[in-house]
Amino acid sequence: MVKKINLTLISILCIISYFSIPYYRNWAEEKFFAEGQGIEEQYPMLGLQQRMTYRFGKTYLMYLEIARMIRSTKDKNALLLMPRDSQLKEGKVRDFLSCEPAVFYYFTGLKSVFANSPAAKDVNWVVTIEHNQPNLRRITTPELRKQLLDTYLKYK
Amino acid sequence: MNAAGLLLLLIAHYFTGRGIIKLFNLHIKPIENFGLSLMVGVAFISVTPNLLQFLHIPIVKTNVIYGVVALACACSLPLLIKFKVPRIGKLTLPQLYEIPFFLVFLFIIVVSVWRCFYLPATARDMIAGPELIAEYAVREGTLLNSVFSVDLSTTNNHFKSSYITGLQIVYKLMVAPFGQLWLSVIVIGFLIFLYSILRSRLHPLLACFIFLLFLTIPDVYAYTYLILYDYSNMIFFFSGFYFLTAFLTEDKPKSYFLFSSFLFGLATFVRTDTAALIAMLYPMMWFQYYRKKAPVKDYVFSASLLAFPFIAYIICIHIFLPAFVPFKFDVSNEINPNLGDVSFLFQRLQDIFTLLIFSAHGLQVYGYFIHTFLFLLIADAVVFRKFSKQSSIILYGIVLVVVGLAILSYLLPLVDLRNTTKRGLFKAVILMVFYMANSNLLQRLSSFIYKMELPKDENKAATMINRNEGLKENSKEKVMVAAPNKQKKK
């Protein structure tokens, strides 16, 4: 029994030594004990939207707002022209990231395209950049659509 | 969360896997059987939505439940053959010195399970592919849903294996809206299996330490709660490799070889490119046969290693893909058009070491695990100057994964370094764990600790030794590890 107790003390020492190594100590602190990561902090927020927002941040909320605004117009053929990240960066937009059509559909149930998509000729909504903020605009004329596509095509 | 749904699924996974494993007539420990049953059961249940789709049955909760139950019952039929009431043998409790480690493992795994439940699917490859299709299949009741009316030209993830799509559908309908908990089931099943292997080869104290080293590899741990293909691919590849090694080195029956092929088949079902790595095992196998002066029929039989991977490939690419994705998938579009330029292959091999493993980025991904493995390998080479047959085979496997990934990158440019290759190396990492369990140095250390621990009474010592079932047979090294007291008499 004494030998088993000695081995138990050795195992405790091993564990303490292992997590005293700076790399693993930092990893454990970031992974398990960082603010907002604990089960006790997350347990009160079990709503699906809360968890989605926790994971995907402000951009996700903005996608939902875009979808809400489009749906409020009851447009059943909405197709959104999404800017590229390079365009958002140039426009100094913060807290909003572009996403590909599949991901936007996953979050909102609405269809979107980039300017180089074959379906882009049918876009009737667009996310523009005004005063360093993303804005949703409806495309009302073919000339406006062409102008927007020509501009958005410059960004990759 | 629907706890009843989760319980039903756990039972279904267990009996499905148990029934499939029974077909191979393996003699493995009950605890290993339990872990493997969960793993195999999860993989099999993943095809439930596909089967419903084939039968034109709407994918709704009730139908999925019936499908899961029907599949579990069908796969459990082998358990009824020569049915005996199971005897619950003497329970082996953990040793006192394992308990501190177990508490740490429990904490780490509980956090993983919680995050698997709490967080939604995050990886872009998922929400632009399998998770997207699963989410709309649940909403619309069919795999052929409105997702395919969206512009999918920026992604190819809808062409990936239906393994995750199927599991997400089942778990979203039966357990929780984010699904995902199947990953925790398969992780726990695998960790049980892995720990049992480690414990059968090493003293529990060393087994625990190696297990801790593995569990705290940063990216490997992260993928225990972030759904992607690579963790599942890793565990099936490793399990197949484990049984192949047992067949080649421990004179196990051919059923072990076939089970190895079966597990490799599951690995291929998860990621079809795994078949290429499995094919690269042949030189090693044939060399083992050559050393044993095996008859020609053994060489012929070895062709069956690719049988299940081939079947899995056909199911994925030529049955499921045309049936469930209404776009043509042309593999030739993915292949490198400039195959004549082999310099890319060597560059990628170099990059794996310089930009991935031995770099600041590699440290973030793998921690010090690979460094620890290399230290042990060099120590074994310097001190003992030779490797056991098992160790040699495992080292071949590690090299195969590294070189194989470089070859795959060369053939398929989409296999990039910082994502696909990084995660593909998980297969090499788990083989490194297996090497550590067979390391000469660690086995000597294990023997030393047993001597320290064991009472002087030889009868009691023999009982303790019998618990170390991993290496009972004929090599000198095995005799030394398995019978430390007998070594003194020598």
B380-405: per-residue pLDDT in tens? 999 998 899 999 999 999 999 999 99
d(CA B108, CA B222): 11
Nearest to B270 by CA among B66, B39, B110, B51: B39
- CB of A31 within 8 Å of a chain B CB? The answer is yes
What's the pLDDT tens digit per position in A106-132?
Answer: 999 999 999 999 999 999 999 999 888
In this structure, are residues A32 and B111 in contact, taking their beta carbons and an 8 Å threshold?
yes
Sheet holding A111-113, edge to edge: A111-113, A79-81, A125-130, A133-138
d(CA B13, CA B38): 5
pLDDT in tens, chain B (490 residues): 899 999 999 999 999 999 999 999 898 999 999 999 999 999 999 999 999 999 999 999 999 999 999 999 999 999 887 666 666 666 678 889 999 999 999 999 999 999 999 999 999 999 999 999 999 999 999 999 999 999 998 888 999 999 999 999 999 999 999 999 999 999 999 999 999 999 999 999 999 999 999 999 999 999 999 999 999 999 999 999 999 999 999 889 999 999 999 999 999 999 999 999 999 999 999 999 998 898 999 999 999 999 999 999 999 999 999 999 998 877 777 788 888 888 888 999 999 999 999 999 999 999 999 999 999 999 999 999 889 999 999 999 999 999 999 999 998 888 888 899 999 999 999 999 999 999 999 999 999 999 888 766 544 444 444 444 444 433 444 433 343 444 333 3
pTM, two decimals, is: 0.91
Going by C-beta distance under 8 Å and a sequence separation of 6 or more, which residues neighbour residue A96? A58, A59, A62, A88, A134
In this structure, are residues B106 and B212 in contact, taking their beta carbons and an 8 Å threshold?
no
Cβ atoms within 10 Å of B469's Cβ, excluding its own: 13
H-helix or E-strand spanning residue B74: helix B61-76
Work out whether strand A133-138 and strand A125-130 pair parallel, antiparallel, or are unpaired.
antiparallel
Backbone torsions φ then ψ of A17, nearest 5 degrees: -65, -40
Do B95 and A3 make contact, defined as CB atoms within 8 angstroms?
A: no
For residue A7, give how far its alpha carbon lies from the nearest alpha carbon of chain B (Å): 6
Burial pattern B235-271, b for ≥16 Cβ within 10 A else e, equals bbbbbbbbbbbbbbbbebeebbbbbbbbbbbbbbbbb
- CB of A64 within 8 Å of a chain B CB? The answer is no
Mutate to test the interface with A, among B93, B122, B154 (most CBs of A within 10 A): B154
Nearest to B302 by CA among B268, B257, B267, B264: B257
Model pLDDT, residue B471: 45
Model pLDDT, residue B467: 45
Going by C-beta distance under 8 Å and a sequence separation of 6 or more, which residues neighbour residue B249? B389, B390, B393
Model pLDDT, residue B254: 92
Do A7 and B97 make contact, defined as CB atoms within 8 angstroms?
A: yes
Do B132 and A3 make contact, defined as CB atoms within 8 angstroms?
A: no
d(CA B402, CA B335): 20
Q: What is the mean pLDDT of chain A?
A: 92
- Fill in the amino acid letter for B279: A
- CB of A12 within 8 Å of a chain B CB? The answer is yes
B178 DSSP assignment: T
Q: Provide the sign of the torsion angle of the four alpha carbons B27, B31, B32, B35, taken in this order.
A: positive
Nearest to A113 among B127, B151, B209 (CB): B151
d(CA B361, CA B367): 9
> Can you name the residues that pair with A90 across neighbouring β-strands?
none
DSSP character string of A23-89: HHHHHHHHHHSSTTTSHHHHTT---HHHHHHHHHHHHHHHHHHHHHHHHHTT-TT-EEEPPPHHHHH
What's the pLDDT tens digit per position in B11-38?
Answer: 999 999 999 999 998 989 999 999 999 9
B165: which 2 tokens?
Answer: 């799509």
Cα within 13 Å of Cα(B465), Cβ side: 22
Q: Is the pLDDT of residue A4 over 90?
A: no
For residue B70, give how far its alpha carbon lies from the nearest alpha carbon of chain A (Å): 31
> Can you name the residues that pair with A125 across neighbouring β-strands?
A80, A138
CA distances for B178 relative to A58, A105, B45, B158, B251, angstroms: 20, 16, 18, 19, 45
Nearest to B238 by CA among B374, B376, B35: B35
Model pLDDT, residue A137: 94
What's the pLDDT tens digit per position in B143-162?
Answer: 999 999 999 988 889 999 99
What's the pLDDT tens digit per position in A45-89?
Answer: 889 999 999 999 999 999 999 999 999 999 989 999 999 999 999
